[in-house]
A and B are shown apart, each in its own frame.
Chain A
Amino acid sequence: MRRWLVRRTLQAALTLLIALVLLFLLIHILPGDPLAREGEHALTPEQTEALRARYGLDRPLFGQLAAFLGGLAKGDLGVSIQYGRPVTELLLERLPATALLGGTVLLLNFVLGVWLGVRQAVRKDSREDRWITTLSLAGYATPSFWLGIVLAGFVGVRWRLLPPAGMRDPLGGGTVATAVDILRHLILPALTLSIVSIAGTMRYQRAALLEVLRLPYIVTARAKGLPESMVIWRHAWRNALFPVLTLFGLWLPILVSGSVFVESVFAWPGLGSLAIGAVGNRDYPLLVGAAVLVAAVVVLGTWLSDVAYAVLDPRVRTS
């Protein structure tokens, strides 16, 4: 197990390193100079100079790459053009909001997705099974930004049931009041993101459970006369859970991309809205920083998935 873990960790580190180098190359082969811009986005000569010095744009490509990676190793992602503050600081400030939103969506998807997926597998090919599949696919086909503006517009603005934007009421209150307030702000963005992403968990749970229900020990359990709910939840589901659980790291790219739109539509103060703001203001260092962080999160998620699987299923680590 230890050797497997070391190898898998080195592999993850290599993947991240390659991702960073590719990002670096992408920035440098882009046609046009990201620093050259006109109108309201124009940089002062001092800013241009500072950025050139920061990225060592006068040095050869390899030297620039070394500077980029060296800065990264020290947690230095440069200074945001828009805010004039270190990118790392800005990203860390916005991380908790995104983590709260993403965590809530993961939890929602897990609880609802597992429940619906099991229902479907148990009633395979029934009308209910088909409808749930079609509805979840419709959710998957829905643009998150569209669902977001429609929910914010109707539930938030027209019917005034829930706050349509932001994360908390600026007037504030006690600890409990603030927590309730954040929760109320969280409902619409979390619901939006969950509706468009739950199909994956559900379908995976359905397929995993169907796979297990075919096995002889389930026949035995039924032959023993166990109640069906016991067969499903105690015997079958426990073995059909691991694949679903370990797949969570793999949903991260989808969640991260989805949260970009959802956060920007609901003005949720997380990484996604920060990235969109960076696009609008041509804040290149900030955008690159966000991409670096996202790549790190994705690699970490995949690593966690694999490790969780190996812990739960010893066959993986011996092969």
Chain B
Amino acid sequence: MSTLREALGAVWRTPRGRAGMGFLAFLALLALLGPLALPEPFRQFDLEELANAAPSVDHPFGTDQLSRDVLSRVVSGARISLAVAALAVGLSVTLGAAVGLVAGYWGGVLDAVLMRLVDGALAVPRLFLLLLVLSVPDRVPLAALILLIGTTGWFATSRLVRAEVLRLREETFVRAAEALGASRRRVIFRHLLVNAAGPLLVAATLGVGDVILLEAGLSFLGLGVQPPTPSWGGMILDGRPVLEAAPWVSVFPGAAIILTVLATNLVGDALRDAFDPRGA
């Protein structure tokens, strides 16, 4: 599978990949155009409506304890969740690719040191790293949250890229490029990075699902996205005390998380099969 386009085409041709891609496209569109698509642009407070109102024509997902429209909040939560996931994963993938390339290409002591450090970092689950860091300040700005999630997520990626680089370096076309006098930069960027892009893309796609779950979990604990900014995890936290009286307050954001993460995993799986048909 040589190009991104072909890979995406292969994903589209599998029913599950198509379902995932379709849902993600729909969600992205909703997140971007949500304000226009909703009947009343982001009417978050409905003062005429009772709090915790059941789903109705006016409020298809009901209202929460502050009489806010749950559908509007699920849609604006989608913007936050997708933005956090995309930016954080972008950061982790960049860091992971950089470290993996350096370790795999230069090898030797540098490689040994970097990989020992990565092993050590992998021993502490990401959630615990984030709990440690996030419990210090009173409020975490959104940008800092993205930065922290991104910088704690690249360890496994760097191992993956390093393994790819080690494999590719032995391939004839890389040796030929080197023998022909290609510059180091050209070998790294034109040959190694481009050919490691497949596994990297798979890892990034699956990483988006992981980060959406992680951010939701942190927000549920009150450590992630801070109210009043709507986030799916925060909405589930809000809905917890009224679960029995008004289950829709927490059920809809939960369903949004499940569908979104499922969609990214379906796409990630289909991508992996496209790049490596043996596993299918």
The chain A residues found within 8 Å of chain B, CB to CB, are 14-19, 21-23, 26-27, 30-32, 34, 130, 134, 137-138, 140-147, 149-150, 153, 157-158, 207, 253, 256-257, 260-261, 264, 275-276, 278-279, 282, 284, 287-288, 290-291, 294-295, 298-299, 302
Contacts and interface: CB of A to CB of B under 8 A. Distances in A.
Interface of B: 16, 116-117, 119-129, 131-137, 209, 213, 216-217, 220-221, 223, 233, 236, 240, 243-244, 247, 250-251, 254, 257-262, 265-266, 269, 279
A137 B135 contact: no
Contacts of A288: 132
A302 B124 CA distance: 12
The prevalent SS among residues of B at the interface is: helix
11 contacts: A18-B120, A19-B123, A22-B124, A26-B129, A140-B265, A141-B209, A141-B258, A142-B261, A294-B125, A295-B123, A295-B124
Contacts of A257: 125-128
Contacts of B259: 141
A30 B236 CA distance: 29
A287 B137 CA distance: 15
A121 to B, nearest CB: 13
A139 to B, nearest CB: 9
The prevalent SS among residues of A at the interface is: helix
A294 B124 CA distance: 7
Nearest to A138: B262
Nearest to B123: A19
A103 B169 CA distance: 43
A32 B132 CA distance: 13
Contacts of A295: 123-124
Contacts of B116: 14-15, 18
A21 B120 contact: yes
Contact of A143 (B213, B247, B265, B266): B213
B162 to A, nearest CB: 16
A288 B260 CA distance: 33
Given A30-B136, A207-B279, A275 B217 contact: no
* Among all A-B residue pairs, the 7 with the closest Cβ atoms: A18-B120, A141-B261, A19-B123, A146-B254, A153-B243, A141-B262, A19-B120
